[in-house]
Amino acid sequence: MARPSEFDRYEAIAKAIKVFARQGFEAASTSDLLEGMGIARQSLYGAFGDKRGLFIEALRRYAAGSLAQMRGTLADGTAGEAIEAALLVGLGSSDDVESGCLGVGSIVEFSRSDPEINALNDAAGEAVVAAFSARVRDGIEAGELDAGLDTDAVGRMLLILRSGLKVAARGGASESELRDTARLALRGLARDQT
């Protein structure tokens, strides 16, 4: 009979996300992960198989949480307000290196070399684009956004902008700089008032 885990899996993955966000996959040693997660080596291997298995589970959890947070902000206010909030929520900062984006970090670290990580990041990106596109459609229907917009193209642009904002936040951009950048992009989506 298998011995039950002696740790909270949810909490352990949350702690692993912080270690991976701070160091990346390659630089995070097993010792770093064990210390950060507060578990024994045997528990890590028994629960996750290996460091890569832990990373895949952490990336999956991070992507789901980030998407849920973004979708929550997209539900409130006008389309412009909601999109701005979604662009700026959960960006992280240079002051808290454990708040970096695990998705963007994994894309930079792995490029397109790992099919399983690619699939996770591709699915997350598609979900973000779909969420932004739907809110842009709402804004067009409400007369707030330009009726000539290609909602899918705008969704892709907003995904790319959000990724860039995450990198800028990690690089030390201030909250006001990030907000100004988001607002500049959103001005280009507004319905022409002339």
Per-residue confidence (pLDDT) for residue 98, from 0 to 100: 77
Per-residue confidence (pLDDT) for residue 5, from 0 to 100: 54
CATH of domain 59-187: 1.10.357.10
AA identity, residue 58 = A
Instruction: For residue range 20-58, list pLDDT tens digits in order.
Output: 999 999 999 999 999 999 999 999 999 999 999 999 999
- pTM, two decimals, is 0.91
Max CA-CA distance within the chain?
Answer: 74
Q: Rounded to an integer, what distance in angstroms lies between the CA atom of residue 80 and that of residue 67?
A: 18
- 137 exposed, middle or buried (CB, 10 Å; 0-12, 13-18, 19+)? middle
- Let me know the angle formed at the C-alpha of 43 by 41 and 47, rounded to the nearest 5 degrees: 125
Q: How confident is the model at residue 193 (pLDDT cuts 50, 70, 90)?
A: low
Residue 169's nearest CA partner among 103, 111, 96, 67 is 96
